Structure 1
Amino acid sequence: MTPQVAIVMGVSGSGKTTLAQAIAAEWPATFLDADDFHSARAKARMASGLPLTDRMRAPWVARIAADLGRRVATGERVALAFSGLRRRHRDRLRATGLPLRFLFLQGDASLIATRMSARRGHYMPVSLLDSQFATLEPPLDEADVVAIPVELATDEQLRRALAALDRPD
């Protein structure tokens, strides 16, 4: 089945939003940022330098899954920027039964930290990057995941992402 949902995943600062927006423009699809599904309380916690627990993330992932289901039911395609750090969160999205593909932005912590330091106006501090990598359960053995190197230019990442999305399961 050809995917209707492209989930660009990876740690904070890996370029999820940039790639998901590019996919949305070229595929074409609706762009969604999973950060918009966080509660104000969760964003404030992260902004203060405290990572979320898995218990705190569960309702967030459930809100995303429900929204994806509603959108795909109306024929919409979606490009979602979503951390997807834990396999159980990826599995929760898989459990929707939606045709989806994960695009994992895989990269080096030092490069990502440099990028995070340069961005402005984001609630996630660089100090939480280590906790993001500690939480990450790499998806490299999961059949519906395509790894895309962080260090590639966005145009090349997009080319690889679109090729992965054109490939049926």
Structure 2
Amino acid sequence: MSTTGIPPAAAGGETRVAVVMGVSGSGKTTLAQALAAAWPATFLDADDFHSDEAKAWMGSGRPLTDAMRLPWVERIAADLRARVAAGERVALAFSGLRRGHRDLLRAAGLPLRFLFLHGDADLIGARMGAREGHYMPVSLLQSQFAALEDPRGEADVVTVEVSLPPDEQLRRALAALS
């Protein structure tokens, strides 16, 4: 444990991958993009690793199964390994709802830290309702909360409250990575 109360990054050494996680609509993309600019790092959105079939499935109002999510997480882990091997830092927006999926990223052997955007379903639902052009309908928010295996208490997870202003979220994220 460091003097800041934040455990050292997994796999030792400087954190190379910041995984901004939470349910859909929690602000993962916003924080990960701000983090990529300030840290600095390459921004990646885990949604870009979904197959067209998975996006269509969710777009029709059906939640993905764990079996459908597994190849998605494996593609992300492989990409992260290649980027870190090439010397990049990465700020990844990733739901990370299941402990097993977080463990798959941990098993990639990369020095990473999870930043969990935790918040109230009503606030997050209102945000989802206000955004345009996203394949994830508000109707799936409750399935996201149902699938979430709460990461608070996992050694490499720092909780950031959704209700904080974006600049304060970024400040806390940067502090967790330093």
TM normalised by structure 1 equals 0.98
> Does the alignment pair 1:148 with 2:160?
yes
2:131 matched to which residue of 1?
119
> Does the alignment pair 1:104 with 2:139?
no
Gaps of 5+ in 2: 1-12
Task: Return the alpha-carbon distance in structure 1 between the equivalents of residues 83 and 143 of structure 2.
Answer: 32
Gaps of 5+ in 1: none
Task: Return the alpha-carbon distance in structure 1 between the equivalents of residues 84 and 116 of structure 2.
Answer: 21
Deviations 1:124-149 (A, max 9, x none): 00000000000000001100000000
SS in 2 for 1:124: coil
Deviations 1:103-161 (A, max 9, x none): 00000000000000000000000000000000000001100000000000000000000
Kindly report the root-mean-square deviation, in angstroms, between the aligned alpha carbons of the 2 structures: 0.3
Deviations 1:56-100 (A, max 9, x none): 000000000000000000100000000000000000000011000
SS in 1 for 2:14: coil
TM normalised by structure 2 equals 0.93
> Does the alignment pair 1:17 with 2:21?
no
1:34 matched to which residue of 2?
46
Task: Return the alpha-carbon distance in structure 2 between the equivalents of residues 150 and 2 of structure 1.
Answer: 26
Aligned-residue identity in percent: 77
Task: Return the alpha-carbon distance in structure 2 between the equivalents of residues 115 and 107 of structure 1.
Answer: 12
Query: After the TM superposition, which parts of structure 1 deviate over 3 Å for at least 4 consecutive aligned residues?
Result: none
Residue 31 of structure 2 aligns with an amino acid whose one-letter code is L
SS in 2 for 1:76: coil
